[in-house]
Amino acid sequence: MKALEKIFLYSILTILVFYVFFVDGNVESKVAIQEEIRARSIVIVNDAGQGVVRLWVYEGGGGITVHNKDGNIVASMRAISSGGGITFLNKAGTIVADIGSCKYGGEVVVCNKHGEVIGSLP
């Protein structure tokens, strides 16, 4: 085999190997749909890289929290062994409304901007 033929053959083989192991795998992974994703925590970030939505678990249950641009939680949904609930907070991080359930029933609490309860339903 002549030197020019060897260079040509090895170049073609190198390109083929590169395509099979690097390019084809990346294209295929972008098209594939995952049936299930398993994780203990997932954080969705904004363009600045700040966590905006967090999905997490802990020993008694799990939750979802939504954060504002300052990183404060403004809404959360939680599941615990005795029930679950949804909480809304103002931009300062003070609870302004909470809906929850427990083994005794449910409760709705509404607070003012200082966190003082102004109304509730047992």
DSSP per-residue codes, 33-101: --S----SEEEEE-TTS-EEEEEEEETTEEEEEEE-TTS-EEEEEEEETTEEEEEEE-TTS-EEEEEEE
What was the pLDDT predicted at 20?
A: 61
Is the confidence at residue 88, as pLDDT, over 90? yes
Average pLDDT over residues 74-92: 90
What was the pLDDT predicted at 10?
A: 61
Percent of the chain's residues with pLDDT above 90: 36
Average pLDDT over residues 7-19: 65
Least confident among 4-18, 30-44, 45-59, 69-83: 4-18
Pick the CATH number of 41-121 from 3.40.50.970, 3.30.1280.10, 3.30.160.60, 3.90.930.1: 3.90.930.1
